[in-house]
Amino acid sequence: MNVKMPIYQCTCGQSLLIVPDISEMEKAIRAHLVEHKKITGEALTEIDLTEKVIACLNDALGEESLQDQVSHA
């Protein structure tokens, strides 16, 4: 089975690959907060970005589940 990792597209134009390793994802989120501030001049909190990444993951998982249901019908 070929599984694509979800990607979060931030409003600043940068992409974050969502990985299953929590510590690596935490590092990526913290690094993006710095980049986001440099690009936009606006601060983004770790909680806000984490919530957006989780929402993106939920959307991606929901789409995969729907695709699995359709392909098995």
Distance from C-alpha of 20 to C-alpha of 7, rounded to nearest angstrom: 12
Q: Which residues pair with 7 in a beta bridge?
A: 17
| Residue 3: pLDDT over 90 | no
Distances (CA, A) of 73 to 14, 20, 62: 37, 29, 17
Question: In this predicted structure, what is the pLDDT of residue 66?
Answer: 44
For residue 49, which of 35, 31, 33 has the smallest C-alpha distance? 33
Q: At 63, phi and psi to the nearest 5? A: -65, -40
Please report how many Cα atoms fall inside a 13 Å half-sphere around the Cα of residue 67, on the Cβ side: 7
Local confidence band at 69 (pLDDT 50, 70, 90 cut-offs): very low
Q: Which tops the pLDDT comparison, 21 or 68?
A: 21
